[in-house]
Amino acid sequence: MELRQLRYFAALAEELNFTRAADRLHISQPPLSAQIAQLEQELGVQLLHRNSRRVSLTDAGVAFLQDTRLLLQRLDEAQRHVRQIHEGLAGRVELGVSGSHFLGPLPQRLGLLAQARPEIVVAIRELSPSRQIEALREGRIDLSISRQQVDDEILRSRLLWPDPVVAALPAAHPLALPPAHTLPLASLATEPFIMLERESSSFAARVYRACAAQGYTPRVTHTVVEVPTQLSLVQAGLGIALVPASTSAYRPDGLVFQALDAADLQADVYAVTRRDSRNTALEAILEFLAPQAHTE
């Protein structure tokens, strides 16, 4: 049985006329008659009643037409789907991301992607930054949203959006300044810091280096894994924290975010992917996360 025979049968069953069906299929009538006869022979059943005046379907023909229509519809869907995957308009992407990114623009941009490209499935896996890179190297995820820029023979990083660093302070803290003012990093030398773990966050290492450049080591009183935990402890008055500015969109009562005079301390966000990735849906995702991200 050939796909061509099924398409011929469907056209004839809908037209119930060999001449009209042949015209619709852009073939002559004899090849159409021959293919239908061959199909009936292969099935071992009569699909059509034929006489000099009209063509009609047998009971078997009616049932076979229903199945044929479903089969052709599924085939058309499969062809359309595979073309979409080839063009990056459909597919599945395993996305590794840490909790702090859900306080910034990422959720909104993923929402826009879901509306515009519903055929692309983004499977989110919440992982620490270090575990994201490990999973990416091992091929367990396709994309890491990270503040760690990694460029080597296996991985490459592309900037999604810049993200300066701000100080999160309790609202009543004496260092809280009017919005137009910036806070010198050196002025935090005696403050209790709520810090991310060095082992799980490259950003924490940057904070230590920036403070060292100002002549001091942060006095760390609490060590946590995620930025939301940092902010909760700051809100409770247990210390201060240096956090990405994008997290200031999360504004619980009792917290202020103070701009820092520390241009060299950044928490820019990168898309990290494998250089050998063949996932065509990746580029579509990157275009939604940041228009410039798909360029080198």
Q: What is the CATH number of the domain that holds 187?
A: 3.40.190.10
Kindly state whether residues 53 and 11 are assigned to the same domain: yes
pLDDT class of 16 with cuts at 50, 70, 90: confident
Overall average pLDDT of the 207-235 stretch = 93
* Per-residue pLDDT tens over the stretch 245-264: 988 877 778 899 999 988 78
* This prediction's pTM: 0.66
Cite the beta strand spans of 24-131 per DSSP E. Answer: 48-50, 55-57, 91-97, 120-126
- N-to-C CA span, the chain: 50
Of the candidates 233, 281, 294, 231, which has an alpha carbon nearest to the alpha carbon of residue 104?
231
The single residue listed with the structure tokens 């940057």 is: 206
DSSP category for residue 266: B
> Strand, coil or helix: what is 288?
helix
Strands laid side by side in the 255-261 sheet = 183-184, 255-261, 165-170, 241-244
DSSP category for residue 2: -
Kindly state whether residues 79 and 101 are assigned to the same domain: no
**Bigger pLDDT: 194 vs 65:** 194
Kindly state whether residues 56 and 13 are assigned to the same domain: yes
The yes-or-no verdict on residue 291 having pLDDT over 70 is no
Pair type for strands 143-146 and 269-274: antiparallel
Overall average pLDDT of the 40-50 stretch = 87
User: Domain tally for the chain?
Assistant: 3
Determine the structural domain holding residue 62 and report its residue range: 3-86
Which helix (H) or strand (E) element contains residue 221? strand 219-224
Kindly state whether residues 74 and 135 are assigned to the same domain: no
The yes-or-no verdict on residue 61 having pLDDT over 90 is no
* Per-residue pLDDT tens over the stretch 151-193: 999 999 999 989 999 999 998 899 887 776 889 999 999 999 9
* Per-residue pLDDT tens over the stretch 103-137: 888 888 888 888 888 888 899 999 888 889 999 99
Kindly state whether residues 226 and 285 are assigned to the same domain: no
The single residue listed with the structure tokens 């575990």 is: 131
Tokens linked to 76 = 């058309």
- The pLDDT value recorded for residue 295 is 42
Kindly state whether residues 170 and 255 are assigned to the same domain: yes
The yes-or-no verdict on residue 209 having pLDDT over 80 is yes
Average pLDDT along the chain: 86
The yes-or-no verdict on residue 208 having pLDDT over 90 is yes
The yes-or-no verdict on residue 53 having pLDDT over 80 is no
> CA-to-CA distance for 6 and 15, rounded, in angstroms?
14
Kindly state whether residues 158 and 275 are assigned to the same domain: yes
Which helix (H) or strand (E) element contains residue 196? strand 192-196
- The pLDDT value recorded for residue 200 is 67
Kindly state whether residues 58 and 108 are assigned to the same domain: no
Overall average pLDDT of the 234-242 stretch = 94
